[in-house]
Amino acid sequence: MADYRRFRQAGGYYFFTLTLADRGSCLLVDEISRLRQAYRTVAIRWPFETLAICVLPDHLHAVWRLPEGDSDFSTRWAQIKALFSRGLAARERSDSKVRHREKGIWQRRFWEHCIRDADDLQRHIDYVHINPVKHGLVARVMEWPYSSFHRYVQHGELPADWATSGLLLPQDFGE
């Protein structure tokens, strides 16, 4: 069995990618209210700050800041995934997923990256926001409804036409 080691920085900034087991699914947007409720519930019990988030049909990206002295992002994501999955029908599952009492909705693991500095933070926030365009879901970032991009526009931090001028193209953002 693989021994996964995650770099943890108490009070740190992190970029995450979580993916459904079925990469062709639209479950996250079809059940966006369920996902939002799970996310809010966990954020109350285990606080964290969401700097950026974008929910796509089969995966999501988020940038978080954890509280000082706290580096436990794994519990938070496990709880979000569990609360979201509760009440949904199980999907086709491997024997391993059955043994672990998993419904087969999520990929077991997730990707995380500890943000190194202010430039790295900005690159990852931009990546989160440009992702629906990168995946061909919309032509303009503003058209995707499940993104913190709208909060940035509302607070005057980004223009509504951000990344449409040709200065920022989807290929400029790496995972």
- Could you read off the pLDDT tens digit of each residue along the chain, which spans 175 residues? 455 556 677 789 999 999 999 999 999 999 999 999 999 999 999 999 999 999 999 999 999 999 999 999 999 999 999 999 998 876 565 555 445 455 679 998 899 999 999 999 999 999 999 999 999 999 999 999 999 999 999 999 999 999 885 545 444 544 4
Residue 2 falls within a domain, yes or no?
Answer: no
The pLDDT value given to residue 1:
45
Asked if residue 84 is part of any domain, the answer here is: yes
What are residue 120's phi and psi, to 5 degrees?
Answer: -65, -40
Active site residues: 146
Q: Does residue 5 sit within a domain?
A: no
Does some domain include residue 8?
no
What CATH code is carried by the domain that includes residue 85? 3.30.70.1290
Number of domains forming the structure of the chain: 1
Inside any domain, residue 136: yes
| Residue 17, strand partner residues | 61, 111
The answer to whether residue 145 sits within a structural domain is yes
Q: Which of 42, 28, 110 is nearest to 82 (CA)?
A: 42
Give the domain extent around 43: 13-172
Per-residue confidence (pLDDT) for residue 175, from 0 to 100: 47
Report yes or no on 138 lying in a domain. Answer: yes
* Strand-by-strand arrangement of the 111-114 sheet: 49-55, 59-65, 13-19, 111-114
Q: Is residue 104 in a domain?
A: yes
